[in-house]
């Protein structure tokens, strides 16, 4: 048995929840003797393969792209853009080991893991039902309204902000351990979690103000460039909280390791979302889901990212429908 090394989508509620549910499955169903190690993965510009050591006795990737490395034992992902290249996709299609799973119709990888491990291995994850439920709401943007997503009243929403805002990986890995053992109401009361939340919450309030001041809204499309601020981890529903009539949102942000264009659509809009944003982002080397995507550039390519973001904004403003209608399905 030995070391199970779990690679997961870093700074993402669904990524951490996936790692927790997968770990519980391994320990409860496969063997109690595993020692778990975690490593978060982030999307990088021009990534051609998953650049990690796969240093465990067994290695798993959850909620992140596929790797054809023979040292990869388990894989679960629900992203539409799950493969870095055609060879990886063919490698996955040819796999008959029964430990690698992909289904982009799932709103969250966490729920995907819960259902696949039940179906194929008889694993009962009901103890973790609340975590699975919230991962589906958060990753699937299934909040009742923008206020739920931005006002952060629920423990799960506070934890989402901690996960997206904390840059100390040690804390991220500890949270996965807490998700395995405790309820979210318990976790948010832990001293170090409260301490981590407080500055993130203050930053959240500040980011609402910055986005409000920088947003340009027309033709049902919001555009903002906040690359002048250290704000990569902002809550992605703020724009729709500020502009409830918007259909699309394009944001440019900058961190130490990438310039990022976020392309999203308003989950609560009464206006139809007709554009597949995964396809749109793939055109520029990015990816994602039909209703939300992103493109990463090296940090020094800010000007290039700005040009691309203007192109995308023009395209979305030209097609954003002025009339209420039927939304494209999130599933599918
Ligand atoms: Mn996910």
The pLDDT tens digits for 80-116 are: 889 999 999 999 999 999 999 999 999 999 999 999 9
Q: What is the mean pLDDT of each run of 10 residues along the chain (332 residues)?
A: 94 97 97 96 81 95 96 96 94 97 97 98 98 96 91 95 92 97 97 96 95 96 95 88 96 91 93 91 93 94 97 94 57 36
The domain segmentation of the chain, as residue ranges, is: 3-142, 216-319
Helix (H) or strand (E) holding 5: strand 3-9
Domain 216-319 has CATH 3.30.56.10: no
The pLDDT tens digits for 109-130 are: 999 999 999 999 999 999 999 9
- The rounded distance, in Å, linking the Cα atoms of 295 and 250 is 11
Q: How far is the CA of 218 from the centre of ligand 1 (A)?
A: 30
- The rounded distance, in Å, linking the Cα atoms of 44 and 203 is 25
Q: How far is the CA of 120 from the centre of ligand 1 (A)?
A: 21
The predicted model scores a pTM of 0.82
Bridge partners, 38 (sequence order) = 6
Give CA separation, 24 vs 57, 115, 148, 240, in Å: 17, 14, 29, 36
Largest pairwise CA distance in the chain:
58
User: CATH code for 3-142?
Assistant: 3.90.1640.10
Query: Measuring CA to CA, which residue among 67, 185, 212, 190 is closest to residue 131?
Result: 185
Sheet holding 292-297, edge to edge: 216-218, 221-225, 248-254, 259-265, 292-297, 287-288
Query: Measuring CA to CA, which residue among 205, 322, 289 is closest to residue 12?
Result: 289
The region, left, alpha or beta by phi > 0 then psi within -120 to 50, assigned to residue 220 is left
Q: How far is the CA of 322 from the centre of ligand 1 (A)?
A: 31
- Predicted pLDDT of residue 255: 85
221-225/216-218 β-pairing: antiparallel
Residues near ion ligand 1 (CB < 5 Å) are 14, 63, 109, 139
């Amino acid at each position: 048995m030995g070391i199970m090394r779990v690679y997961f989508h870093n700074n993402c509620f669904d990524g951490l929840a996936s790692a927790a549910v997968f770990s519980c499955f391994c320990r409860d169903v496969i063997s109690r003797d595993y020692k778990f190690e975690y490593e978060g993965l982030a999307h990088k510009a021009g990534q051609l393969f998953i650049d990690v050591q796969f240093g465990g006795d067994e290695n798993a990737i959850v909620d992140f792209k596929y790797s054809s490395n023979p040292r990869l034992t388990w894989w679960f992902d629900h992203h539409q853009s799950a493969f870095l290249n055609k060879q990886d996709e063919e490698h996955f299609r040819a796999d008959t080991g029964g430990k690698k799973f992909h289904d982009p119709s799932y709103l969250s990888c966490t729920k995907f893991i819960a259902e696949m491990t039940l179906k194929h291995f008889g694993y009962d994850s009901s103890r973790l039902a609340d975590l699975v439920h919230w991962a589906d709401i958060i990753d699937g943007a299934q909040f009742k309204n923008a206020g739920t997503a931005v006002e952060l009243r629920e423990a799960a929403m506070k934890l989402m902000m901690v996960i997206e805002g904390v840059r100390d990986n040690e804390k991220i890995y500890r949270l996965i351990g807490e998700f395995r053992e405790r309820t979210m109401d318990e976790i948010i009361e832990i001293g170090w979690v409260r301490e981590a939340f407080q500055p993130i919450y203050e930053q959240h309030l500040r980011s609402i103000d910055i986005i409000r001041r920088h947003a340009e809204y027309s033709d049902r499309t919001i555009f903002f460039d906040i690359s002048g601020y250290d704000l990569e981890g902002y809550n992605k529903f703020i724009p729709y909280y500020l502009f409830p009539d918007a259909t699309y949102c394009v944001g440019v942000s900058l961190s130490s390791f990438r310039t990022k264009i976020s392309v999203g659509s308003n989950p609560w809009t009464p206006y139809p979302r007709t554009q597949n944003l995964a396809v749109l982002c793939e055109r520029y080397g990015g990816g994602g889901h039909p209703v939300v995507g992103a493109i990463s550039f090296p940090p020094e390519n800010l000007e290039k990212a700005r040009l691309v973001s203007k192109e995308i904004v023009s395209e979305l403003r030209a097609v954003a429908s002025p009339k209420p209608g039927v939304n494209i399905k999130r599933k599918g």
